[in-house]
Amino acid sequence: MEFKHKPVLLKETIKGLNIKKDGIYVDGTLGGAGHSKEILKQLTPKGILIGIDRDQEALDAAKENLKEYQNVKYIHGNHDEIEKILEELKIPKVDGILLDLGVSSYQLDEKERGFSYLGENELDMRMDKTQKLTAKDVINTYSEEKLSNIIFEYGEEKFSRQIAKKICETRKTKEIKTTKELVEIIEKVLPSFSKKDGHPAKRTFQAIRIEVNDEIKPLKETVKKCIECLNPGGRLCIITFHSLEDRAVKNAYTEAKGQCTCPKDLPYCICGAKSEGKIINKKPIIATEEEQKENSRSKSAKLRIFEKT
């Protein structure tokens, strides 16, 4: 299947990176390389792009999409390990980093990956097919309480307890193996009025996907690592699609910016507050109405930018 993925907030992100033509840039979520291609267009052959992705299929598609460029380094890995990746490449600092979080359109469309609640496929949901934990493991082995908490926190699903209870009741008689089986369980639980707000399984599938790929827990620490990897004047652009992601990024940026906690009547700072840079946009940048009409995925997208000093 062709890897089609329309980059969200493309113009805003490229502008936010403030690209230096001979600089070194990291796309920590390479995907179909839509953002990366625009970065490369602004780089000279002396500039370098490092493309990281957990999904080998995404990397293969990106190599094809960027085949005209020779100044690209492809890394099968996780952006959470950016410090280690740069160390292995013997690159101490970079001029810009982009993270476009969440699942790609390709992964959703590729039904066999189990991300989609449409059709009948194995419960997988792994972005990196080499990892062990799958959605089937989560659904069939997690306790009712743990499942309920995940569905509520990551999916913001009001009926998380009822869904978790029904999952645990069903798996007592047989293992839940497919996306269709999980959808049928959810549909039995949700009241009819709640189904007006999109597909009834949407929030639960999102929650299970986030848990399988550990998308939230390490994010705040990852943001800090990315800032540490920047040269002075370098920028970090992060696009989120979930309120928990956006909150983690916002909090990490605020901490990195630093804030004096001394009483206002003191003539100078004694708390030792240290700033690593500045937040470029206090409010997140969102997609234009035109982009939201053209690309429904952009409706929940938020871009936050940080500049290292």
SS3 73: strand
Q: Which residues contact 197 (CB under 8 A, 6 or more apart)?
A: none
Alpha helices in 112-176 (DSSP H): 135-141, 144-155, 160-171
Q: Find out whether 127 and 54 touch, Cβ atoms under 8 Å.
A: yes
Q: Which pLDDT does position 64 carry in this prediction?
A: 95
Q: Find out whether 307 and 277 touch, Cβ atoms under 8 Å.
A: yes
In total, the chain counts a number of residues equal to: 309
How far apart (Å, rounded) are the C-alpha atoms in residues 33 and 58? 8
How far apart (Å, rounded) are the C-alpha atoms in residues 246 and 243? 5
* Other Cβ atoms within 10 Å of 134 Cβ, number: 18
CATH number 3.90.1150.10 given to 10-102+216-308: no
How far apart (Å, rounded) are the C-alpha atoms in residues 173 and 238? 44
Residue spans per domain, the chain:
10-102+216-308, 120-212
Tens of pLDDT along the chain (309 residues) come to 455 568 999 999 999 999 999 999 999 999 989 999 999 999 999 999 999 999 999 999 999 999 999 999 999 999 999 999 999 999 999 999 999 997 766 666 666 788 989 889 999 999 999 999 999 999 999 999 999 999 999 999 999 999 999 999 999 999 999 999 999 999 999 987 666 678 899 999 999 999 999 999 999 999 999 999 999 999 999 999 999 999 999 999 999 998 777 777 877 777 777 889 999 999 999 999 999 999 988 999 999 999 999
Which phi and psi angles does 206 have, rounded to 5°? -60, -45
Structure tokens at 8: 């969200």
CATH architecture entry for 120-212: Orthogonal Bundle (1.10)
Q: Which pLDDT does position 1 carry in this prediction?
A: 44
Q: Which pLDDT does position 196 carry in this prediction?
A: 65
Which string of b and e fits 212-227 if b means at least 16 CB within 10 Å?
Answer: bbebbeebbebbebbb
Q: Which pLDDT does position 6 carry in this prediction?
A: 80
Which phi and psi angles does 300 have, rounded to 5°? -100, 5
- Residue at 246: amino acid letter: D
